Structure 1
Amino acid sequence: MYCAQDHRNGHPSEDFEKGLAHVLRIQPRLLWVTGGEPSLVPKLPETLRRIRVECGNPAILMSTNFQRPAAVFDEFAEVLDFLFITLDGVEEDNWTTRGFNGRKLLERLAEFIPRHPKLSITLTTVATVHNLDTLESFVDSVQTVLPGIQQYIWPMNPTFHPLSVGGSPETAARFAEIMERLSIRYPSIRGSTPKNKEARVEHGGNGSLLRRWLRDSDLVRCDRQYFYADIGADGLLMDCRLARIIPNLDHRANQALEKGQPLELYRALQLLRKQTRDMEGYNPVCSHPCTCVEGLGEVVLSSSREDPRLHSVPQLLGSRFRPEDRRAASEFIQRHINSLFEESFFDEIGPKAGRG
């Protein structure tokens, strides 16, 4: 799984092949296709079909606004495991943020879903000060038209922006209360809460020294709303290095404090500083934690096959990991992060029901 924040202007068609070659080389187990609007890319279903064959059947997810003709998405449904559809409201909210009618989208989905029962579909919503008041009625409308459909609601990023629900402690608290009520009312609702310092009444919070320092520091902030894989104009897949090293840094910092080894803590922080200076393929204002890292961090901390944390990233299908991937990942996790993790846990990684 790769996360990236280095967005660039324009992706010339001749560079698309470079990006494809990079994907085929790294052999990802989860490929998240986003944009822009991926459904506008010519022959993308054909490309994804090739990736599925040549990369050993990875889980493939695509984010879309679902505004192309139905026949376009019928073709995509044949090559996707997961489809994320952006929808911020059913009234004026979605006209403001997305430029199209939310109710009509729900009507189209009601016709589309029965044709593709094996495709996992999630509606994703970005919470702002503009749609906070109508968030509950919006979810009620969605669940009335599409009972039981999965919805993921997250704060607008950067969460410290005045328009985000994380812009003040008051709006952050209201958002958290709304999400709690919705998750009780509808089990298919998931979401994340703002963790930036502007959203908290008291700075510091819980967790390790390193995690508290990161959350309170202006050094790491994210200026992107989405956190997925980008193919740059040069055809390279941009990799957020900070996102990869933070969980391990946090673990090392805790160990250093427990053992009274300040030098180890210093080395961990130096590694973090080195990442911010290395600009190639990295955005220096990236923030941690983002939702991807949080979920993966939960998965690798699992201590048994019954651990609910194995389901923290439903799109990460353990059955799609090849034997050599499982062995290598298990050894790394056991050595550096969690000694209780076992290779057999991969059989349980994924959604609680209907794992592929």
Structure 2
Amino acid sequence: MHVAIIGGASTIGSTVAYTLAGLAPTVDVSLVDINEGAAWAHGKDISHASYHFSNAPGASLAGDDVGTVRAATPDELAELAPDLLVFNAAAPQPEDATGRGAREAELDRNLSIVADVAEELRPLDPTPLLVVTNPIDRLVYQFYSLLEWPRRCFLGYSLSESARVADAVGSELGVHPNEVYCPMMGEHGENVVPILSRARAGGEPVAGDDLDREAIREYVLDIPFDIAKERGVNETSRWVTSAGVTRVIRSIAAGSEPDGEDPHGRLGEPFCLSTPLDGEYGFADLALSVPVDLDEGGVAAIHEWDLPDVEADELATAADAVRADLARIGAKGYDG
């Protein structure tokens, strides 16, 4: 599998490449960036790191079995012919972008970057595109609008919330977060929707009515910005994001193998990614995080769950927020 990370010299891009080198060492990675020198430096350093991953106790891969990490420029994208694109390019964040409105404020700053990258992607055959740049749901739909590839090609990363809600639910229940499954639908932002009705802890259903829904949701929304205030916006949520993006990549690889492992991982449940909708959950002409199955082509299936009224209402609120921004920027289907 060959993954091209657009914005590969960035904090998130380089950390994703490093995580892949450790957890998915057979993957070939191209760090695509206008800063070719920085991309080369990260690629060479990660290649050196892979030496230790391959030769650590218990390692089973060496030599030709290990993927490569290389640098590339945006005008080389067509000849790279990647199996998966990860879009992580973004305008610089202001140093004071440590409040909950920061994601939404990025829309106008990043639209021109999306337009430029879409032009660079146009010569490629339709390829799964995982968007990591904020605001994710709006940019997923904007790429879909500009490229007009099959909608299954378009994915938006939103698994960091799954880890954060597991932390909050685990704390309430007194169990380790790694034992918690709670999907997160809706918007990657203020209108995230914890699906407590399907929460599990240790494999057993959780009584969602016994949980403090608002406190859990507020924790999920606040914690990334609490971290940013202490660490600085340039660091972003690099560790959880790189691990989550690597999980998506490994799930795509597993979903393409007929006898592969469960693409949803140890907890065995679908996770949620943002993708364009065409009637699912009653919405169309926008992108929201919904439960999906993945394969080598991107979204293989969307699960339509029956949701209790509170969760369905929150999902509708998220749709309204995304729809309003798409109308403002004149995305496909919102031209008046």
Give the structure with higher Rg (CA).
1
**TM-score if structure 1 supplies the norm length?**
0.32
